[in-house]
A and B are shown apart, each in its own frame.
Chain A
Amino acid sequence: MEALQSEKINIKTTLDPYKYRPDFPILSQKVHDNTLVYFDNAATTQKPIQVIESINQYYRISNANVHRAIHLLGERATNGYEEARVRAARFINAESERQIVFTRGTTESINLVANSWGRKFLEPGDEIILTEMEHHSNLIPWQLLTHQMGAKLRFIPFKADGTLDFPVFEQILSNKTKLVAVIHMSNVFGTINPIKRIIRMAHDRGVPVLLDAAQSVPHLPIDVQNLDCDFLAFSGHKMLGPTGIGALYAKVRLLENMDPYQGGGEMISSVWLENATWNEIPHKFEAGTPNIAGAFGFKAAMDYLDNIGMQKITLYEQAITTYALDKMMEIDGMIIYGSAPERGGAISFNLGNIHPHDLAHYLDQQGIAVRAGHHCAQTVMRKLNIAATTRASFYFYNTFEEVDYFVEQLKSAVAFFNF
């Protein structure tokens, strides 16, 4: 098995998924009498024992509230929580941990910017540019905001191959534009958008850029200083961490000028009956008791990923994605949505007339977990003129053998549904 595996990776990567799989207890189970093949990593990833243990250990030996206790447990909890912040800053190469606000995830990070930055700085007639391939989490917060502020949304369309239409971007970028908010890697097409080019064009006009990095931070090495993005939102659960924790990165100047997000404990400096002053960044944006256990787990997840090396993960995922695409395209009736040259490991497809819902149910019976539906991107589906797709999405612990099995089961699904 392992010899076969290494034969198939005839590229300059040395990542061996079989080395990491034993760390993921969930992967060794059977579902419907078949070994689980987990291909729904764009929705959420599985957790290694290191992450599970770090949460367990936190509750066993360090549990206390943060930033407010003088006792030993309070110190451990606070230290661990703040170490996670430093870790997150280092993971994306931020200059300072002051630039990391812990949130529930990408969705909350974006809502935070829409509320704390948008409501303060947006004026009637202003425009925000998004793409037509946004996840609902980078669309709805801006709809809410612009409707409220009398501002307007503009969109960079995507082309048939799932890449962005730059000439249109050039046209709509104007002195009315106050923000460009774009998905870094598409959860539908897998497209990795040319973010540096977008940022350069926006910055030429002094417009800040927010990246929905929910799918990119888990799979690509990210360096926010090099990218020079102004805001970056990501989720812990899509990168081996627990649910309910994620982060917003932002430039210091922006964070300092933004209003608080929610009010409560921890985000204040001095409080009187009629008013208050705010805590320093990033605490100004973290009202109430945060997800401390989540931060411990998130830190362990980033440790795990950096131990492997993000570069290595990217290369391996590109190899397995190319392999899967080639094999899938050999199947009669296969339609794959998106063929960008720069892409990650999320593959959306339709197979003949088999409805994604039926196909996903069939694959589940064979032990394969994939996603069927609109992938929180109804506007993308509408433009493609389809109701849904099936999506397979990989992580570094997926193997070439799993891809072989998946492709075999796709073929047997065609026979089963007999179309």
Chain B
Amino acid sequence: MKDEFRELYQEIILEHNRSPRNYRKMDDCTHVLEGRNPLCGDHYIIYLKVKDDIIEDVSFEGSGCAISKASASVMSTTIKGKSLAEANEYFEIFHKLVTGEADADAYFEKAGKIAAFSGVSEFPVRVKCASLAWHTMHNALENKADKVSTE
């Protein structure tokens, strides 16, 4: 087995896939959006509760591969309690990491668990899986279309 593949499915990712955080429906959310990857059938609903520019709560439901589910879970823990501007910043960092535009070291301080997803950059076909929840969250906050698709 190649090291890159182990790197992709490192322990943090497998663990978040097994026990996703904030995996629940949220009735009193202020933003909700469904994201889909029609190619592989991954789909998630992202719920956000925003008050005074702060993301007070994040949760998600849905199903998909380990990469997509772990990513949704890590996304929820990362942006919970953060300001909208910070959430946007994390979104940018995540995007740069998974597309290989920047490596994890560049964001060592800031990235935290997001850094685990830098292994995705070695597998272009999986970038869509990793990005689905993040794009959905981002579009929900920007009140973009009511459905996002990473196709």
Chain B interface size, as a band, is: 20 to 34
Q: Using CB atoms, name the residue of chain B closest to A355.
A: B65
Are the C-beta atoms of A381 and B41 separated by less than 8 Å?
Answer: yes
Q: From B11, which residue of chain A is reached at the shortest CB distance? A: A418
Contact of A355 among B2, B5, B66, B123 (CB under 8 A): B66
CB pair A365 B1 closer than 8 Å? yes
A84 at the interface (CB under 8 A from B): no
Q: Find out whether the CB atom of A418 lies under 8 angstroms from the CB atom of B14.
A: yes
Chain A residues near B43 (CB, 8 Å)? 387
B64 at the interface (CB under 8 A from A): yes
Q: Mark B28-66, 1 if CB is under 8 A from A, else 0.
A: 000000000001111100000000000000000001111
A-B contact pairs, 23 of them (CB 8 A): A33-B2, A355-B65, A355-B66, A357-B129, A358-B66, A361-B5, A362-B5, A365-B2, A365-B5, A366-B1, A372-B40, A373-B39, A373-B40, A374-B41, A381-B41, A387-B63, A388-B40, A388-B41, A416-B9, A417-B9, A417-B14, A417-B66, A418-B14
* Neighbouring B residues of A356 by C-beta, 8 Å: 40, 65
Residues of B within 8 A of A381 (CB): 41
Query: When chains A and B are docked, how far (Å) is the Cα of A357 from the Cα of B66?
Result: 8
A32 at the interface (CB under 8 A from B): yes
Q: Which 9 A-B pairs give the minimum distances between C-beta atoms? A: A357-B65, A387-B41, A355-B65, A358-B66, A388-B41, A358-B65, A365-B5, A357-B40, A373-B40
A372 to B37, CA, bound (A): 14
Query: Inside 8 A of A357's CB, which chain B residues have their CB?
Result: 40, 42, 64-65, 129
B72 at the binding interface (Cβ < 8 Å): no
A356 to B65, CA, bound (A): 7
Within the complex, the shortest CB–CB distance from A416 to chain B, in Å, comes to 7
Residues of A within 8 A of B129 (CB): 357
By a CB distance below 8 angstroms, the chain B residues around A366 are 1
Cα-based distance from A388 to B64 in the complex (angstroms): 9
Q: Which chain B residues lie closer than 8 Å to A358 at the CB level?
A: 9, 65-67
Whole-angstrom CA separation of A141 from B61 in the bound complex = 34
B18 at the interface (CB under 8 A from A): yes
B126 at the interface (CB under 8 A from A): yes
